[in-house]
Amino acid sequence: MPTRSSARHASRKGDLSVPLVSSFPPVARKDAVICILGSMPGRASLDAAQYYAHPRNSFWPLLESVLGIPRSLPYPRRLELLKERGAALWDVLGTCAREGSLDSRIEPSSIVPNDFAAFFSMHPFIGTIFFNGAKAESVYRREVLPALSEPARSLTLVRLPSTSPAHAGMTFEEKREAWGRIGRALEENAGQGYYERRSDYRRE
């Protein structure tokens, strides 16, 4: 998996350089049934080595509301609870050149996606991908989806409103309503006896 890098990527302007940043390893158990994908961790998250570490990012408050994972818990415990509920967490981009934290500052020519073919082969029960914002979805559809084979190519894809503080066009309540689809997806899988129907399932 990609690791954080301090290398710099030469911009197309020629007289500037843009930092090359790398995403974190995925947070997932083999029995995950959904995956939440962002684009690339922002500067606050990279500095803290934690997903969604910016204090004004609404990711963890939303998960507290829709999945019952208290945002006040230590970060490792929040990740454990997320995995216990059947959710995986990762980013679409493995590396990219970006100045600052905004998706709009990503250099398109520098994008290298994560290895989703390997990821889905290791997590065969994932049926739905939830994208945290438009950038994650657009890069996935352009850079990842065409290279996938079945059944990974036919997973359900759902775009959710970005939790970034830069996405201020929706209220928290409006985002919570949209992100509630994650909770409903997990409840549906649990109610249908998802794991019991698969004789090859083994809990890690």
66 neighbors 56 (Cβ within 8 angstroms) = no
Q: What does the alpha-carbon distance between residue 136 and residue 35 come to, in Å, rounded to a whole number?
A: 12
Q: What does the alpha-carbon distance between residue 15 and residue 19 come to, in Å, rounded to a whole number?
A: 14
Q: Which tokens in the block code for residue 14?
A: 């020629």
- Name the active-site residue from 57, 114, 132, 189: 57
Look up 189 and say whether it is catalytic.
no
94 neighbors 129 (Cβ within 8 angstroms) = no
Cα 201 off chain centre by = 24
Q: Is the dihedral of CA 25, 29, 30, 34 positive or negative?
A: negative
Return the active site residues: 57
